[in-house]
Amino acid sequence: MREVVGDIWDYYNDNYNICIPTNGGVEGVQQSGPAVMGAGVAWQAAERFPEISETLGDYIRKAGWLGVYELRWHIWCFPTKPDWAYWRGMPVDEKVRISHRCPGWLAKSVPGIIEVSLAILNSLHYTTKVDEFILPRPGCGCGGLDWKDVKPLCKKYGDWLTVISRG
């Protein structure tokens, strides 16, 4: 793993594949709408490429929320939070504790989910021959985790993984 400081969108080109931290939330009464991408880098991605929230919603419905999917050329989702149905017992901000159920986007990121996403990314690196993935510190922005706790998970992987921070 390599660490850099900067704007993740400066790396959106043919050499890098950007990973967007996501949760398993899908809008709509029947969960038939777009994926929830309402904050952080996910929101930035949805603003730049409006179709990706629909694409991610479709992937979640067809294959499940815990997967790393290519949403468009060089943009991949990277789950760090549970879907809302999986929430029971997950860490949540104090303002949400009044409910026993909450959508995944309100929950804190979960290190175990980040580990699974990293393992999937590692497999994709070798099976798809993607040279380089870059992602913001997973779970450390809107996910509420500390980088000191997440960094050891990321350090297990080679130089094909770049983690970026705003500095």
Find the CATH number of the domain harbouring 58: 3.40.220.10
Nearest to 132 by CA among 162, 163, 165: 162
**Helix ranges (DSSP H) in 64-143:** 111-128
Q: Average pLDDT, stretch 148-153?
A: 96
Total domains present in the chain:
1
Residue 108 binned pLDDT confidence (cut-offs 50, 70, 90): confident
Least confident range from 21-25, 49-53, 58-62, 112-116: namely: 21-25
- What's the confidence (pLDDT) of residue 85? 42
Quote the tokens at residue 40: 């952080």
- What's the confidence (pLDDT) of residue 65? 75
Q: Is 66 helix (H, G, I), strand (E, B) or coil?
A: coil
pTM of the full structure: 0.83
The DSSP 8-state label assigned to residue 95 in this structure reads G
Residue 49: give the domain boundaries.
Answer: 2-165
Residue 67 binned pLDDT confidence (cut-offs 50, 70, 90): confident
| Alpha-carbon gap, residue 53 to 57, rounded angstroms | 6
Residue 130 has pLDDT above 90, yes or no: no
